[in-house]
Structure 1
Amino acid sequence: MGKIIFLEDKKLKEKFYNSISKALLLTSVSISDTKTRIFAISFGYGRTLLKQDVCEERFGIITALNIIDKDTIRSIDKIDIGRDLKSSTESMPKLASMDQFGFDHESELLNKITGKSIENFIEGNVSGKDAFTASIEANISNIDDVLKDLYQYFLSDKYKDHFDWIDQITPIKNKDLIKKLDTEMLNLILNRDPTFWAAVPENINWEDIKGF
């Protein structure tokens, strides 16, 4: 078990600095009198130490959408699920809206978003996927307050003013639910259900494919 040491002295920070260290700080925060949440703060590549299936799904992307404005988007990661499951990352040289990215919320899934914060306590850009990323002035004495604020942004429905379509199509990461859906899919295939449709997850040479 390692230790996380918070350094205030700049010279000490430079002494211990390297580019390969990774750490994960788990902290329990009382959100209310009856609710407690455990937050994971990663340092370096610390996110690789965390089991993804224990994370709050879409925490980062919902929090980010509540902190940025509809016209302060910098880049997006999206997956086209309507035609060929094509994934892509797009960015703009200046702040833009989703319409300027040509995003089709009927057939595309927003996987990650980066934009400029319009909230005072966060400066610059924020990013959200499952994890939330931002530059925030914080230390060990006030980190709980910062995390409480971020959790309130996650609970907010403000994003629905301009990004309500985000709830129409959502990825599924729960292993138990995935297993259940896989079983249902297999039954549809075995019963040759005419309403079943699937897309190939990667590019293939169709000249070599006769059928499935």
Structure 2
Amino acid sequence: LVHVSSDYVFDGTAEVHTEDEPLSPLSVYGQTKAAGDIAVAGCPRHYIMRSSWVIGEGRNFVKTMRGLSDRVADPEDKLEQVTVVDDQLGRLTFTRDMAAAIFHVLDVKAPYGTYDCTGSGAVRSWADIARAVFEAANGNGEKVLPVSTADYYANAAGPIAPRPVHSALDLSRLEAAGFHMPDWEEELGEYLKTL
């Protein structure tokens, strides 16, 4: 059994989360993912592949930021800048890389259990990522205004579910199984070329 999990099973107090950290979800979504992890862990032969900040086909943060960068660059559009939180930290996970990691643990018959599976490389904020997307798309990275999560929530139109502040996951167990996730910043550059 292969189950895809999330950094949302943690409260984000640890700067880097390991597979063995006790589950401590902040939101209903996180609680459902944690419940799934617990149920799957009861199966003798299982892989829980834990990700964070997933980017793939369909709507996602990078595509949204690309569209906002285009709007900011358009002199006909009244949007002048965007605010993005700068105190939530993590790494992107590209779905193709996660799929490769899943196939790897299956192919090599890695020990059953939980594997953290996110891009490797530097830990950054959502604002850092937005800035990189804006810069690559239109050279307008300075139009991303960093804001604290507290300020962002205070100015939101409606309630927002709490999110972990720290979403970086420890990749040591996956690497010990012989798979090294690509650097997410390099993957971001390649992904942006496809948009």
For the aligned pair, the TM-score class normalised by the smaller chain equals: under 0.3
TM-score (norm 1): 0.21
**Which structure shows the higher helix fraction?**
2
Q: Rg: which structure is higher?
A: 1
